[in-house]
Structure 1
């Protein structure tokens, strides 16, 4: 087995420990976001190291999740990035999502906010615009379908209760959990968010569908309205 302690015994390595060697010795949790991205990048561009290029990416997009969720066009707009790197990042993102989703199965009960939180953080795609989605559940609160229902602007999404009811009937749902994102990252629900949820709850009660919760999604965090007794 390779003696990783030699990495730090070298006079050269003591001056500058590369991300890959740092990961081997201390584990991935010891690396910064830029260092983790640099491992995927492998090399930088003229005048910039891989870490400096990674720093540029984080500054440009605003964070790791935004980097992973960037469109091909936006990603390749940064000098030194192209289709091959984009494909690598997308593949890594999909592998993480699949690994997390292996923890969910047909018998997973979506009544605990922590379960829904984990599911949404793994599956709700980052967007610069508001999106409104539903987790449609059966009578045992097992997931039937996760669906995006409406797309909106940078600060709002128009939601139509009648259309939501049609989705519930389409999926033969007994209950539903709603989720929408705030592109600003602020997870506090607005008064209109709460009012909409109460309106949907009243409308769906007419077809015997329960509204269990409504989550607001920010950057790597969520807010449960039911968990805060708002609905």
Structure 2
């Protein structure tokens, strides 16, 4: 029984004493799930979930049917997980509200990671900025497969003009988990940069999201 564990090994007490960063993925999940099932304490149940779905991201991406097949879980837990994920996205989005100036790339990275890391297929998006690099709008434009998404420069240019953007940050995810720029990524970045430059819109960066990682074209000298 979890209650028989030493106090400092019980997830809630550990969090209160040492902070949430001290907990493992299984311990954080255990606090969320709250109770185990017959013969399995909540931490062991959480470990089983992580093994079944591969990661916290895999659990968040699980369908309602997949999640509800796990003993001890049901529609209520599925709804809570989705609500939790959406709250995280909105919390980070509040840091990039319209009118906020981007003074560093970290806020952009945090926001884009939250928006794209849980996507099971490749998604291409743009973060649109004004001449002072204040946030105007974020939009997911193209959806693809596990490996690629077709990107159409004309649509990117149209969206940027419609939002009166002066600069953009391009972004897409790699569901494979590899945070590196492929040759195709470099080519589409150059194509988009050339197309947007024709209408006086600068590409400040292209960020590739792979799980918790973020690859920045600007930081690697590719823009």
Q: TM-score normalized by structure 2? A: 0.89
Three-state SS of the structure 1 residue aligned to 2:219 is helix
**Higher mean C-alpha deviation, range 14-23 or range 29-38:** 14-23
2:179 maps to 187
Match 1:36 to one of 28, 49, 52: 28
Kept after mapping to 2: 8 A contact 1:44/1:80: yes
Kept after mapping to 2: 8 A contact 1:133/1:149: yes
Change (3 A) 1:99 1:149: closer
Kept after mapping to 1: 8 A contact 2:125/2:139: yes
Q: TM-score normalized by structure 1? A: 0.86
Rounded Cα–Cα distance in structure 1 between residues aligned with 2:8 and 2:129: 52
1:7 maps to none
Report runs of 4+ in structure 1 exceeding 4 Å deviation: none
Change (3 A) 1:38 1:171: same
Tell me, yes or no, if structure 1 residue 214 matches structure 2 residue 190: no
1:20 maps to 12
**Unaligned segments of structure 2, at least 5 residues:** none
Shift of 1:111: 5.7
Shift of 1:17: 3.8
Residue deviations 1:71-112 (CA, integer Å, cap 9, x gap): 323322323211111222233333333433443343422363
RMSD: 2.2
Kept after mapping to 2: 8 A contact 1:69/1:125: no
Q: How do residues 1-231 of structure 1 correspond to structure 2 at under 5 angstroms?
A: 12-14=4-6, 17-110=9-102, 112-124=104-116, 126-231=118-223
**Unaligned segments of structure 1, at least 5 residues:** 1-9
Shift of 1:153: 0.7
Number of matched pairs: 221
Shift of 1:59: 1.7
Larger Rg: 1
Rounded Cα–Cα distance in structure 2 between residues aligned with 1:50 and 1:224: 39
